[in-house]
Amino acid sequence: MNRDARRQVFERLRRHNPHPTTELEYRTPFELLIAVMLSAQATDVSVNKATKRLFAVADTPEAMAGLGVRGIKPYIKTIGLYNTKARNIIATCRLLCSRHAGQVPRGREELEALPGVGRKTANVVLNTAFGEPTIAVDTHIFRVSNRTGIAAGKTPLAVEKRLLKTVPEEFRRDAHHWLILHGRYVCTARQPNCDRCIISDLCDLKRKHP
């Protein structure tokens, strides 16, 4: 996809959804961090159901650390990999209290040093909570970027670097949410809905297989 087509893609996505945001429900950077940690291999709907109950009793690192691994499990047991996630969340909360005065750090290295927080989670927090122009590449964004030709790459990191290099600066802050929503509801994995896609005429797949 050339530069002009890529700009048109994001101009159309912006017109369609001027203020995109995550579908995870949160009120603070800490709640977002916990929600994103829970979202691995889980739907946002299932995470929101769990965090609604969890955040009602523990919405700070101190309070959540106080639950302990055993205490947090009943709130997240409907989420996949909940045993591992429980251990990581409690360990992260304890580090937030001991190293960061109970605040979510705004630096990538500090975020990725937290148990259970990888590059994708750090990117989501940096972008959504702190407004940084980062792009977290999940399965939806990886698929959309490669399928459409917006940013081809063999690995999520390669796609991320390509997106950061080629997405015009004015669209970079919101690109993550536009692409993930497009992949979730339009450019789906098994059967993309090309007939209702607002960028289908610019898409590499559509041009190759009209």
List the catalytic residues.
120, 138
- How far apart are alpha carbons 160 and 27 in whole angstroms? 27
Q: In whole angstroms, give the CA distance from residue 196 to residue 131.
A: 30
| Amino acid identity for residue 144 in this structure | V
Element holding 10 (H helix, E strand): helix 3-16
DSSP output for 53-98: HHHHH--SHHHHHHHHHHHHHHHHTTSTTHHHHHHHHHHHHHHHHH
Could you tell me which of 168, 169, 189 has the C-alpha nearest to residue 6?
Answer: 168
- Cβ-based burial of 47 (10 A; exposed 0-12, middle 13-18, buried ≥19): buried
| Spatial distance between the Cα atoms of 34 and 124, rounded to a whole number of angstroms | 11
Query: How wide is the angle at C-alpha 190 spanned by C-alphas 51 and 184, nearest 5°?
Result: 35
